[in-house]
Structures are given as C-alpha cells and as structure tokens.
Amino acid sequence: MTPDELKALVRTVPDFPEKGILFRDVTTLISHGAGFAACVDHLASRARAAGAEVIAGMEARGFIFGAAAAAQLGIGFLPVRKPGKLPVPVIGIDYALEYGSDRLEIDPGALRTGSRVVIVDDLIATGGTALAATSLLRQAGAMIDHALFVIDLPELGGADRLREDGVIVDALMHFPGH
C-alpha cells in the first residue's frame, strides 16, 4: 500500500482532546492488517536507508511502530519510557509540554555508545517529545541524525525544530491543522 492509501486508514476525530483539535487516530491504521504491515514496511525501509543499528520508540505508540520495524530489520529496539517504568538505574530528561512538563527515561546499559539510533514514532506535532528523546539518547552516547514518523502535522513546527537540531525528519504522511 502507498502512503496515500495508508493515509486513508487514519481516522480523524474532531474536537478531541479539546474543541478545535482534529485528532489523527492511528488505531484504525494499526487494526488494519495489510495497512499496518505496509506502514511498518515503509518505516523499516527508511530506517535501513538511514543506517539504523537500533530503533528507539517513545511510549506508547512509538513502541508499536518502532518495535515492529526493528523486528523486521533484525535489529534492537530501545524503549524510551515514561518515568518509573524501568526496574534498573536510568538516565532521564524533563521537558516542557504545552500545559506542564513530562519526563522520559532510558536504561543506558541497553545502548552501546556510538550506536546509530533512528527514532520512530506515530506522530510529530510540536516536537517536544522527539527533541527530548533525541537529547536523552545523545546523552547516552547514541548517534541520532534520523527520525521517522507515520504522521507529521507540519503547521505545529515539530519537524522543523528537529531539523534545527541536526535531525533528518521523514514522515509517511502529512495532515493540515492540529
């Protein structure tokens, strides 16, 4: 399936989580067997072209797409977790959200210094989570210069913010609005 055909599988939910937002829901894409497989094929192909040795995915939907692409490539997957989820000593980063803050953590022992890591997530909006993950992974010694997304919301500027941080950004599809 082409990215345009995959785009047709993404459900748009108006006024969620608040009035005026058009929420791009990937659960309809994930639940479509052929669509999900094609989406993972596209991501894996792009990760391979970027020289990925490890794929990192942010909780939670980045786990779905990233782990599937990593398995297809036969490379490792590194989960970038919400706080308090890992049973070992972690390194973490706090970052700002539109309304508050959050934290990401990783097990630094799960990553070999100098590994070429490609970030995979379902969607990039403002880029806060992806930028925080990039910083955290670099702190752990990873080489990060590519990030792959199923969806980009270009009007929110996240992809541009990542590019300004030296990351090549690629998305399978783009949607206007928020």
Catalytic residues: 61, 98
Give yes or no for a contact between 99 and 78, defined as CB atoms under 8 angstroms apart.
Answer: no
Q: Left if phi > 0, otherwise alpha if psi is -120 to 50, otherwise beta: which for 157?
A: left
Residue 166 C-beta-side C-alpha neighbours within 13 Å = 6
CA gap 116, 113 in Å, rounded: 9
Please state the φ and ψ torsions of residue 47, each to the nearest 5 degrees.
-65, -40
- SS percent in the chain: helix, strand, coil, step 5: 35, 35, 30
**Antiparallel, parallel or unpaired: β 168-174 and 143-152:** parallel
